[in-house]
């Protein structure tokens, strides 16, 4: 029961001398003092906040994804599905960030772009870890963070670990599908390449949904995640095009040309291929 004063207003807690406040619990002093503009341009605040918000969401995505890999490998499929649904919902949130960023015009961005030097989202280690968790292993981020041994170790572990798709393939094998044995003994630092035995297994799952309900659910959750990630990549590419046109990126790439090229990469190739085949 809440208390009310004489005028009928609710009495809320105001004495926090001995108690933890909301701000203390969330360490807002640290979080909200990390938006340090390098220029005095008004719009740089948007640029910093949108990146930080994206990184915070990526932190939660990684938390959920690695836990989902663990659950799948233990056979706790319902737990994994719940976490993967959460990942998709986070991804749908992040995508709306592009609408906000699109209010930044080329004329505004150009006024503080030089301040970034060679810093670029290309060096986002959390983004690379998301790619690692999904099986897209590119080593350049390891080189970039050699100067930070703790982070480097974490990145290396993620780089060398089986991805969520490797865990899904293990499940196909456990269900009795004749999966190419080389796939489960493979070098996990290599980018996953489509295999006919995996495609045949998924085709059977999609044709016999009732019999393989859990595998079917898993396949669809993975497709959700890849679909959202591709939509993120696409919106990033178009937003970059409207803000910097075809200028080269601060990270050293061709810019939009590079971002268009990464759109071609598929994380779970057989799950896309199977849609044509069944």
Of 47 and 81, which CB lies nearer to ligand HEM in the complex structure? 47
- 3-state secondary structure (DSSP) of residue 190: coil
Q: CA 220 → CA 55, 103, 152, distances in Å?
A: 26, 34, 33
Q: Which range, of 22-30, 65-73, 217-225, 246-254, touches ligand HEM by CB under 6 A?
A: 246-254
Check residue 206 for interaction with ligand HEM (CB under 6 A): no
Nearest to 51 by CA among 142, 145, 148, 124: 124
Tell me how far CA of residue 10 lies from CA of 2, 16, 62, in angstroms.
Answer: 7, 18, 40
Find the binder of ligand HEM among 85, 93, 111, 124 (CB under 6 A). 124
Sign of the torsion angle spanned by Cα atoms 73, 79, 83, 85: positive
- Which residues have C-beta within 8 Å of that of residue 44, sequence separation ≥ 6? 37, 38, 112, 115
Among 41, 51, 70, 266, binds ligand HEM (CB under 6 A): 51
Q: How far is the CB of 66 from ligand HEM (least distance, A)?
A: 18
HEC profile for 129-159? HHHHHHCCCCCHHHHHCCCCHHHHHHHHHHH
CB of 262 to ligand HEM, least distance (A): 4
Nearest Cα neighbor of 54 from 93, 87, 4 is 93
**Total interface residues for ligand HEM by CB under 6 A:** 24
The secondary structure of residue 194, as a DSSP letter, is: -
Q: Please, what is the minimum distance in Å from the beta carbon of residue 150 to ligand HEM?
A: 21
Under the criterion CB under 6 A, does residue 61 sit at the interface with ligand HEM? Answer: no
**Nearest distance from residue 105's CB to ligand HEM, in Å?**
10
* Residue of 251, 260, 266, 272 that binds ligand HEM (CB under 6 A): 251
Measured from the CB atom, the residue of 100 and 278 that comes closer to ligand HEM is: 100
Q: For residue 135, state whether it binds ligand HEM (rule: CB under 6 A).
A: no
Residues of span 76-115 touching ligand HEM by CB under 6 A = 101, 104, 109
Please tell me whether residue 48 binds ligand HEM under the rule CB under 6 A: no
Name 255's Cβ contacts closer than 8 Å, sequence gap at least 6: 240, 244, 246, 247, 248, 249
Q: Which residues bind ligand HEM (CB under 6 A)?
A: 50-51, 54, 101, 104, 109, 120-122, 124, 127, 236, 240, 243-244, 249-253, 255, 258-259, 262
């Amino acid at each position: 029961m809440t208390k009310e004063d004489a005028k009928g207003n609710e009495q809320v807690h105001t004495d926090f001398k001995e108690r933890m406040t909301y701000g203390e619990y969330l360490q807002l002093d640290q979080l909200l003092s990390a938006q340090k503009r390098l220029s005095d341009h008004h719009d740089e605040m948007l640029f910093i906040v949108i990146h930080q918000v994206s990184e915070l969401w990526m932190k939660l995505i990684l938390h959920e994804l690695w836990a989902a890999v663990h659950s799948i490998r233990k056979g706790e499929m319902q737990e994994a599905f719940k976490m993967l649904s959460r990942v998709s919902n986070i991804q749908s949130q992040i995508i709306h960030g592009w609408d906000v960023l699109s209010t930044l015009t080329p004329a505004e961005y150009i006024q503080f772009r030089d301040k970034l030097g060679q810093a670029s989202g290309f060096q986002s280690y959390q983004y690379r870890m998301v790619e690692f968790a999904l099986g897209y292993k590119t080593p350049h981020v390891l080189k970039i963070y050699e100067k930070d041994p703790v982070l480097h170790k974490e990145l290396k572990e993620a780089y060398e670990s089986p991805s969520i798709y490797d865990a899904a393939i293990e499940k196909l094998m456990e269900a009795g599908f004749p999966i190419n044995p080389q796939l489960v003994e493979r070098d996990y630092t290599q980018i996953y390449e489509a295999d006919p035995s995996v495609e045949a297994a998924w085709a059977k799952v999609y044709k016999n949904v009732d019999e393989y309900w859990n595998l079917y659910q898993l396949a669809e959750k993975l497709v959700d995640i890849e679909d959202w990630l591709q939509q993120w990549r696409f919106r990033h590419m178009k937003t970059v095009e409207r803000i910097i046109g075809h200028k080269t990126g601060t990270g050293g790439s061709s810019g939009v040309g590079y971002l268009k090229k990464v759109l071609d990469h598929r994380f779970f190739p057989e799950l896309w291929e199977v849609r044509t085949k069944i």
